[in-house]
Amino acid sequence: MSTSALTQPGEPNALVALLGDRLRRAVPLGPLTSWLVGGPADYLAVAESTASLVEIIAAARTDGLPWLILGRGSNVLVADAGVRGLVIRVQSSATQIDAETGAVDADAGVRLASLAVATAQVGLSGLEFGVGIPGSIGGAVVMNAGAHGGCIADTIVSATVLLPDGSVTELGRADLALGYRESRFRRNRSEVVLGARFGLARREPAQCLATIAEYRQRRRQSQPTDASAGSVFRNPPGTAAGLLLDRAGLKGARIGGAMVSTKHANFFVNAGGATAADVAALIALARERVESAYGIRLEPEVELVGDWPSSPLEGAH
Protein backbone atom coordinates (compact mmCIF):
# COMPACT_ATOMS: atom_id res chain seq x y z
CA MET A 1 0.00 0.00 0.00
CA SER A 2 1.39 3.44 -0.86
CA THR A 3 1.93 5.98 1.91
CA SER A 4 -0.58 8.35 0.35
CA ALA A 5 -3.28 5.68 0.66
CA LEU A 6 -2.82 5.86 4.44
CA THR A 7 -3.22 9.61 4.73
CA GLN A 8 -6.38 10.91 6.32
CA PRO A 9 -7.99 14.21 5.36
CA GLY A 10 -7.84 16.68 8.28
CA GLU A 11 -5.11 14.63 9.98
CA PRO A 12 -1.53 15.92 10.42
CA ASN A 13 -0.27 13.08 8.26
CA ALA A 14 3.38 14.14 8.08
CA LEU A 15 3.53 14.42 11.88
CA VAL A 16 1.80 11.07 12.33
CA ALA A 17 4.26 9.46 9.89
CA LEU A 18 7.21 11.00 11.75
CA LEU A 19 6.10 10.46 15.34
CA GLY A 20 3.48 7.72 15.41
CA ASP A 21 2.20 7.36 18.99
CA ARG A 22 4.60 10.04 20.15
CA LEU A 23 2.26 12.61 18.63
CA ARG A 24 -0.12 13.08 21.54
CA ARG A 25 -3.58 14.61 21.28
CA ALA A 26 -5.59 16.89 23.58
CA VAL A 27 -2.76 17.17 26.10
CA PRO A 28 -3.32 19.45 29.13
CA LEU A 29 -0.57 22.07 29.17
CA GLY A 30 -0.92 23.24 32.78
CA PRO A 31 1.54 20.63 34.10
CA LEU A 32 4.09 21.79 31.51
CA THR A 33 4.04 25.36 32.82
CA SER A 34 5.32 26.86 36.06
CA TRP A 35 1.92 28.49 36.74
CA LEU A 36 0.23 25.10 36.44
CA VAL A 37 -2.72 26.60 34.56
CA GLY A 38 -4.03 26.39 31.01
CA GLY A 39 -6.02 24.11 28.75
CA PRO A 40 -4.98 21.45 26.25
CA ALA A 41 -2.86 21.53 23.13
CA ASP A 42 -4.59 19.92 20.15
CA TYR A 43 -1.31 18.09 19.58
CA LEU A 44 1.87 17.82 21.61
CA ALA A 45 5.28 16.57 20.49
CA VAL A 46 8.40 16.40 22.62
CA ALA A 47 11.68 17.13 20.83
CA GLU A 48 14.41 15.17 22.60
CA SER A 49 17.15 16.37 20.25
CA THR A 50 17.91 19.24 17.91
CA ALA A 51 17.50 16.96 14.90
CA SER A 52 14.05 15.89 16.04
CA LEU A 53 13.05 19.52 16.74
CA VAL A 54 13.94 20.44 13.15
CA GLU A 55 12.08 17.40 11.78
CA ILE A 56 8.95 18.07 13.84
CA ILE A 57 8.76 21.67 12.64
CA ALA A 58 9.28 20.58 9.03
CA ALA A 59 6.44 18.05 9.37
CA ALA A 60 4.13 20.63 10.98
CA ARG A 61 4.86 22.96 8.06
CA THR A 62 4.07 20.18 5.60
CA ASP A 63 0.78 19.57 7.40
CA GLY A 64 0.01 23.30 7.49
CA LEU A 65 -0.48 23.01 11.25
CA PRO A 66 0.24 26.08 13.40
CA TRP A 67 2.92 25.35 16.00
CA LEU A 68 4.16 26.88 19.21
CA ILE A 69 7.46 26.24 20.92
CA LEU A 70 7.39 25.59 24.64
CA GLY A 71 10.59 25.50 26.66
CA ARG A 72 10.10 24.99 30.39
CA GLY A 73 6.88 27.02 30.33
CA SER A 74 8.12 29.42 32.99
CA ASN A 75 7.22 32.65 31.23
CA VAL A 76 3.90 31.82 29.60
CA LEU A 77 0.25 32.00 30.58
CA VAL A 78 -1.62 29.37 28.56
CA ALA A 79 -5.30 30.13 27.89
CA ASP A 80 -7.91 27.93 29.60
CA ALA A 81 -9.14 27.07 26.10
CA GLY A 82 -5.68 25.74 25.31
CA VAL A 83 -3.61 26.02 22.14
CA ARG A 84 -4.83 25.18 18.66
CA GLY A 85 -2.43 23.21 16.54
CA LEU A 86 0.85 21.69 17.72
CA VAL A 87 2.84 22.51 20.83
CA ILE A 88 6.46 21.42 20.65
CA ARG A 89 8.09 20.92 24.01
CA VAL A 90 11.86 21.33 23.62
CA GLN A 91 13.91 18.89 25.67
CA SER A 92 17.09 18.67 23.59
CA SER A 93 19.81 18.27 26.18
CA ALA A 94 23.32 18.18 24.70
CA THR A 95 25.98 20.39 26.26
CA GLN A 96 29.66 20.81 25.56
CA ILE A 97 31.81 22.64 28.06
CA ASP A 98 35.43 23.46 27.30
CA ALA A 99 36.89 24.41 30.67
CA GLU A 100 40.13 25.61 29.04
CA THR A 101 38.75 28.04 26.48
CA GLY A 102 35.45 28.84 28.22
CA ALA A 103 33.46 27.91 25.11
CA VAL A 104 30.12 26.41 26.15
CA ASP A 105 27.57 25.01 23.73
CA ALA A 106 24.10 24.07 24.91
CA ASP A 107 21.00 22.78 23.18
CA ALA A 108 17.85 24.89 23.47
CA GLY A 109 16.26 22.39 25.87
CA VAL A 110 19.05 22.49 28.45
CA ARG A 111 17.96 24.06 31.73
CA LEU A 112 19.68 27.40 32.31
CA ALA A 113 20.00 26.67 36.05
CA SER A 114 21.70 23.31 35.38
CA LEU A 115 24.13 24.93 32.95
CA ALA A 116 24.89 27.64 35.52
CA VAL A 117 25.87 25.00 38.08
CA ALA A 118 27.75 22.76 35.62
CA THR A 119 29.88 25.64 34.35
CA ALA A 120 30.52 26.97 37.87
CA GLN A 121 31.72 23.53 38.95
CA VAL A 122 34.47 23.52 36.32
CA GLY A 123 35.51 27.09 37.10
CA LEU A 124 33.71 29.00 34.36
CA SER A 125 32.00 32.23 35.29
CA GLY A 126 29.25 34.23 33.59
CA LEU A 127 26.08 32.19 33.99
CA GLU A 128 25.82 32.21 37.79
CA PHE A 129 22.93 34.70 37.55
CA GLY A 130 20.82 31.96 35.93
CA VAL A 131 20.74 29.62 38.90
CA GLY A 132 17.27 30.62 40.07
CA ILE A 133 15.74 31.03 36.61
CA PRO A 134 13.70 27.91 35.81
CA GLY A 135 13.78 28.29 32.02
CA SER A 136 15.47 26.52 29.13
CA ILE A 137 18.39 27.94 27.18
CA GLY A 138 16.01 28.58 24.25
CA GLY A 139 13.54 30.49 26.42
CA ALA A 140 16.40 32.33 28.12
CA VAL A 141 17.79 33.53 24.79
CA VAL A 142 14.33 34.58 23.57
CA MET A 143 13.78 36.56 26.80
CA ASN A 144 17.40 37.61 27.31
CA ALA A 145 16.79 36.30 30.81
CA GLY A 146 18.68 37.99 33.58
CA ALA A 147 19.03 38.51 37.31
CA HIS A 148 21.46 39.90 39.89
CA GLY A 149 22.88 42.34 37.33
CA GLY A 150 23.72 39.65 34.76
CA CYS A 151 21.91 38.43 31.67
CA ILE A 152 22.26 36.16 28.66
CA ALA A 153 23.52 39.05 26.51
CA ASP A 154 26.66 39.35 28.69
CA THR A 155 28.21 36.07 27.59
CA ILE A 156 26.35 34.73 24.57
CA VAL A 157 28.56 34.47 21.51
CA SER A 158 26.04 33.12 19.02
CA ALA A 159 22.81 31.21 18.63
CA THR A 160 22.00 28.42 16.21
CA VAL A 161 18.68 29.29 14.63
CA LEU A 162 16.13 27.51 12.45
CA LEU A 163 14.85 30.02 9.90
CA PRO A 164 11.35 30.06 8.39
CA ASP A 165 12.68 28.59 5.10
CA GLY A 166 13.88 25.50 7.00
CA SER A 167 17.58 26.38 6.85
CA VAL A 168 19.77 26.49 9.93
CA THR A 169 22.13 29.39 10.54
CA GLU A 170 24.49 30.71 13.18
CA LEU A 171 23.66 34.24 14.33
CA GLY A 172 26.26 36.27 16.22
CA ARG A 173 25.37 38.18 19.36
CA ALA A 174 24.94 41.48 17.50
CA ASP A 175 22.29 39.92 15.25
CA LEU A 176 20.17 38.69 18.15
CA ALA A 177 18.87 42.19 19.03
CA LEU A 178 19.12 41.46 22.74
CA GLY A 179 17.75 44.10 25.10
CA TYR A 180 15.93 44.22 28.43
CA ARG A 181 13.88 40.98 28.27
CA GLU A 182 13.97 41.38 24.50
CA SER A 183 15.38 39.68 21.44
CA ARG A 184 14.63 39.37 17.74
CA PHE A 185 12.77 36.13 18.56
CA ARG A 186 10.10 38.00 20.53
CA ARG A 187 9.08 39.74 17.33
CA ASN A 188 9.70 36.90 14.90
CA ARG A 189 7.90 33.83 16.16
CA SER A 190 8.75 31.69 13.15
CA GLU A 191 12.46 31.57 14.05
CA VAL A 192 13.48 28.87 16.51
CA VAL A 193 16.52 28.85 18.77
CA LEU A 194 18.16 25.44 18.46
CA GLY A 195 21.08 26.14 20.75
CA ALA A 196 23.52 28.75 21.96
CA ARG A 197 27.24 29.23 22.44
CA PHE A 198 28.59 31.18 25.39
CA GLY A 199 32.07 32.52 26.06
CA LEU A 200 32.74 32.26 29.79
CA ALA A 201 35.64 33.52 31.89
CA ARG A 202 37.88 31.42 34.13
CA ARG A 203 37.33 31.82 37.86
CA GLU A 204 37.93 29.57 40.84
CA PRO A 205 35.13 26.98 41.07
CA ALA A 206 34.74 27.72 44.79
CA GLN A 207 34.14 31.39 44.00
CA CYS A 208 31.61 30.60 41.26
CA LEU A 209 29.77 28.23 43.60
CA ALA A 210 29.82 30.77 46.44
CA THR A 211 28.17 33.31 44.11
CA ILE A 212 25.55 30.71 43.21
CA ALA A 213 24.87 29.98 46.88
CA GLU A 214 24.49 33.70 47.57
CA TYR A 215 22.02 34.16 44.68
CA ARG A 216 19.99 31.18 45.87
CA GLN A 217 19.86 32.62 49.36
CA ARG A 218 18.73 36.03 48.06
CA ARG A 219 15.91 34.40 46.10
CA ARG A 220 14.77 32.34 49.06
CA GLN A 221 14.51 35.54 51.08
CA SER A 222 12.73 37.69 48.51
CA GLN A 223 10.62 35.41 46.30
CA PRO A 224 7.73 33.01 46.91
CA THR A 225 8.10 29.32 46.14
CA ASP A 226 4.43 28.84 45.08
CA ALA A 227 3.64 28.21 41.41
CA SER A 228 4.27 31.42 39.44
CA ALA A 229 5.96 32.71 36.31
CA GLY A 230 8.46 34.94 38.08
CA SER A 231 7.99 38.65 37.44
CA VAL A 232 4.64 39.37 35.80
CA PHE A 233 5.52 42.89 34.62
CA ARG A 234 8.64 44.39 33.14
CA ASN A 235 10.23 47.12 35.20
CA PRO A 236 9.29 50.51 33.76
CA PRO A 237 12.18 52.95 33.19
CA GLY A 238 13.63 54.20 36.47
CA THR A 239 11.57 52.12 38.88
CA ALA A 240 10.62 48.57 39.84
CA ALA A 241 7.23 47.13 38.94
CA GLY A 242 7.18 45.27 42.29
CA LEU A 243 7.54 48.53 44.19
CA LEU A 244 4.64 50.18 42.34
CA LEU A 245 2.44 47.11 42.84
CA ASP A 246 3.30 47.01 46.54
CA ARG A 247 2.63 50.74 47.02
CA ALA A 248 -0.68 50.39 45.18
CA GLY A 249 -1.69 47.93 47.92
CA LEU A 250 -1.80 44.86 45.72
CA LYS A 251 0.06 42.36 47.91
CA GLY A 252 -2.42 39.64 48.83
CA ALA A 253 -5.01 40.77 46.23
CA ARG A 254 -6.83 37.72 44.93
CA ILE A 255 -9.08 36.70 42.05
CA GLY A 256 -10.23 33.09 42.21
CA GLY A 257 -7.14 30.98 42.80
CA ALA A 258 -4.69 33.66 41.62
CA MET A 259 -3.03 35.87 44.21
CA VAL A 260 -0.45 38.64 44.29
CA SER A 261 2.32 37.21 46.45
CA THR A 262 2.60 38.74 49.90
CA LYS A 263 6.38 38.24 49.65
CA HIS A 264 7.03 39.90 46.27
CA ALA A 265 4.29 41.98 44.63
CA ASN A 266 5.50 41.30 41.06
CA PHE A 267 5.01 37.54 41.55
CA PHE A 268 1.42 36.39 41.05
CA VAL A 269 0.99 32.91 42.44
CA ASN A 270 -1.38 30.06 41.84
CA ALA A 271 -2.65 29.78 45.40
CA GLY A 272 -4.60 26.64 44.48
CA GLY A 273 -7.02 25.87 41.68
CA ALA A 274 -6.32 29.04 39.69
CA THR A 275 -7.49 29.26 36.10
CA ALA A 276 -5.69 31.19 33.41
CA ALA A 277 -8.66 33.58 33.38
CA ASP A 278 -8.11 34.23 37.13
CA VAL A 279 -4.47 35.08 36.51
CA ALA A 280 -5.26 37.31 33.52
CA ALA A 281 -7.99 39.13 35.47
CA LEU A 282 -5.55 39.73 38.33
CA ILE A 283 -2.96 41.07 35.91
CA ALA A 284 -5.59 43.42 34.43
CA LEU A 285 -6.67 44.57 37.91
CA ALA A 286 -3.08 45.23 39.02
CA ARG A 287 -2.38 47.14 35.84
CA GLU A 288 -5.40 49.36 36.33
CA ARG A 289 -4.62 50.06 39.99
CA VAL A 290 -1.02 51.06 39.24
CA GLU A 291 -2.07 53.19 36.29
CA SER A 292 -4.70 55.07 38.26
CA ALA A 293 -2.35 55.58 41.23
CA TYR A 294 0.85 56.48 39.38
CA GLY A 295 -0.06 57.10 35.74
CA ILE A 296 2.32 54.31 34.71
CA ARG A 297 1.04 51.57 32.44
CA LEU A 298 2.91 48.39 33.29
CA GLU A 299 3.82 46.10 30.41
CA PRO A 300 3.63 42.34 30.97
CA GLU A 301 6.87 40.36 30.91
CA VAL A 302 4.94 37.09 30.83
CA GLU A 303 3.48 36.04 27.52
CA LEU A 304 -0.11 35.00 26.92
CA VAL A 305 -0.29 32.08 24.52
CA GLY A 306 -3.14 30.07 23.02
CA ASP A 307 -6.78 30.70 22.43
CA TRP A 308 -7.59 33.84 24.45
CA PRO A 309 -10.63 36.07 24.12
CA SER A 310 -9.58 39.45 22.74
CA SER A 311 -7.70 41.83 25.10
CA PRO A 312 -7.69 39.60 28.22
CA LEU A 313 -5.35 41.99 30.04
CA GLU A 314 -7.45 45.11 29.55
CA GLY A 315 -10.00 44.13 32.23
CA ALA A 316 -13.04 46.08 33.39
CA HIS A 317 -12.60 46.42 37.14
Ligand X SMILES: Cc1cc2nc3c(=O)[nH]c(=O)nc-3n(C[C@H](O)[C@H](O)[C@H](O)COP(=O)(O)OP(=O)(O)OC[C@H]3O[C@@H](n4cnc5c(N)ncnc54)[C@H](O)[C@@H]3O)c2cc1C
Strand 268-270, strand 258-260: pairing? antiparallel
Cβ burial 25-50 (10 Å sphere, 16+ → b, else e): eebebbebbbbbbbbbbbbbbbbbeb
Catalytic residue, candidates 34, 125, 231, 261: 231
- Is residue 241 within 8 A of residue 231, CB to CB? The reply is yes
The answer to whether 264 contacts ligand X (rule: CB under 6 A) is no
Q: How many Cβ atoms sit within 10 Å of the Cβ of residue 303?
A: 14
Is 204 an active-site residue? no
Sheet order of strands, 83-90 included: 24-28, 40-47, 83-90, 67-70
| Half-sphere exposure (Cβ direction) of 164: Cα atoms closer than 13 Å | 5
Piece of the chain touching ligand X by CB under 6 A; list 39-47, 79-87, 141-149, 253-261: 141-149
Piece of the chain touching ligand X by CB under 6 A; list 139-147, 196-204, 232-240, 285-293: 139-147
How many residues touch ligand X (CB under 6 A)?
A: 31
Is 301 an active-site residue? yes
- Residue 13 or residue 223: which is nearer to ligand X going by CB? 223
Catalytic residue, candidates 89, 111, 181, 287: 181
Site for ligand X in 44-103 (CB under 6 A): 68-76, 90
Binding residue (CB under 6 A) for ligand X from 44, 60, 108, 156: 108
Site for ligand X in 193-222 (CB under 6 A): 193
Piece of the chain touching ligand X by CB under 6 A; list 94-102, 142-150, 172-180, 203-211: 142-150
Piece of the chain touching ligand X by CB under 6 A; list 227-235, 249-257, 269-277, 286-294: 227-235
Is 92 an active-site residue? no
Strand 76-78, strand 303-305: pairing? parallel
Catalytic residue, candidates 128, 191, 288, 301: 301
CA–CA dist 312, 287 (Å, integer): 12
Binding residue (CB under 6 A) for ligand X from 29, 115, 229, 276: 229
- Is residue 57 within 8 A of residue 296, CB to CB? The reply is no
Q: What is the DSSP string of 250-272?
A: -TT-EETTEEE-SS-TTBEEE-S
Q: What angle do CA 161, 165, 6 make, to 5 degrees?
A: 110
**Active-site amino acid positions:** 181, 231, 301
Binding site for ligand X (CB under 6 A): 34, 68-76, 90, 108, 133-136, 138-140, 142-143, 145-147, 185, 192-193, 228-230, 303
